[in-house]
Structure 1
């Protein structure tokens, strides 16, 4: 397993909500705002602010099949992007995952 993949897996499984984001992405901003509104601790990795951001995004695509940002995980489960995250909040699915 590559060190990049190991870092991603550690992040995914050590944080209730893990958001891979970019600072200039409006969808990322919406997802982070929604996570804040849940009042649950979450971790953000701003891929445009770190040296290995491109390799992390590439590895995320291999893991999830998703090219876009944000890329969101809840309790180790891949949720998808902002739209899926917001739909999951509206349906109560995200809250159920967090309560387990």
Structure 2
């Protein structure tokens, strides 16, 4: 069954913070560590453990303008990748979004 945009949007809406990630990606780890520091629960969708990763990444590319991981969403809003999350955290803006 092909992955649909609706499925990806449901995933994005499934938690306050949703991170599309790969287990071996250092930027993904960076993003997750920021939320761990904030004691903010998140849903990590580990694409390298899924058969439909390519389809999901293609849809994320359409939604966010890039297919790279991590793709981090807070309350359904795309906030960027690992470096973006770290920068938002350091500036105090990330806490405001939560």
TM-score (norm 1): 0.90
Q: Name stretches of at least 5 consecutive residues in structure 2 with no aligned partner.
A: none
TM-score (norm 2): 0.91
Q: What stretches of structure 1 move > 4 A for 4+ residues in a row?
A: none
Root-mean-square deviation over aligned CA pairs:
1.3
Structure 2 residue matching 1:78: 3-state secondary structure: strand
Aligned to 1:46: 46
Tell me the number of residue pairs that the alignment of Structure 1 and Structure 2 aligns: 97
Structure 2 residue matching 1:20: 3-state secondary structure: strand
Whether the 8 Å CA contact 2:3–2:52 is kept in 1: the answer is no
Structure 1 residue matching 2:68: 3-state secondary structure: coil
The answer to whether residue 84 in structure 2 is matched with residue 84 in structure 1 is yes
Aligned to 2:33: 33
Q: Name stretches of at least 5 consecutive residues in structure 1 with no aligned partner.
A: none
